[in-house]
Amino acid sequence: MPKTLQENLTRQLCDSVDSLQKQVEKVEFWASAVTGLTAPVPEYEPETTAVARYLKPRRPARKRRRRAANQNSKTNTKPASA
């Protein structure tokens, strides 16, 4: 049964509108992605994050002490294995 010209045009118009809606969705997706990437990164404050309640409070760093000089080098004695 041959389709009429009007039915043909109606089908093509519906297909075109569907295709356009899909393209608009893609454009909206990429526009929101680009907008999100151009926003500045917020400052990181570890005390205010959701993970902070699971972390132990931070202690100040320990001061590192230098080792005392080796006594053998001061007295010029040789080790027993020499």
pLDDT tens per residue across span 32-69: 989 888 878 878 777 777 777 777 667 666 777 777 76
76 DSSP assignment = T
Contact 74, 67 (CB under 8 A): no
Percent of the chain whose pLDDT exceeds 90: 34
Note the pTM of the prediction, 2 decimals.
0.42
Query: Could you state, in order of their start, the residue ranges of all structural domains in the chain?
Result: 1-38
Neighbours of 74 (CB within 10 A): 8
